[in-house]
Amino acid sequence: MKLSCLRCGESACVTCVEGEECLVRRLQALGVRPGKSVRVIRHAPFGGPLHLRVGSTEFFLRPREAESITVKHAV
């Protein structure tokens, strides 16, 4: 499923990062790679960005960019 399906506070395991090359590189550099766990901390107001944490790095990205990250629930 897409990352955007996660509710606030939920974690999941990244299975795939795809899209424009620049975006993918940037996400990889921030630690978003297949096999890593990502947590959605909160959504910003006005349909704004998602606040995420991967490892010890926190960052935000817009819902549109979140579409390029596919995740599955950790078993």
Which positions touch other proteins (CB under 8 A)?
20-23, 25-31, 33, 41-49, 51, 54-62, 64-65
CB of 13 to other proteins, least distance (A): 15
* Nearest residue (CB) to other proteins, 37 versus 72: 37
Q: In angstroms, give the least distance from the CB of 47 to other proteins.
A: 5
Q: Judge contact between 69 and 62, C-beta under 8 A.
A: no
Integer Cα distance of 15 and 1 in angstroms: 9
Q: How far apart are CA 45 and CA 53, in angstroms?
A: 18
Nearer to other proteins, 25 or 72 (CB): 25
Q: Minimum CB separation from other proteins for residue 1, in Å?
A: 21
User: HSE (CB half, 13 Å, CA atoms) of 44?
Assistant: 11
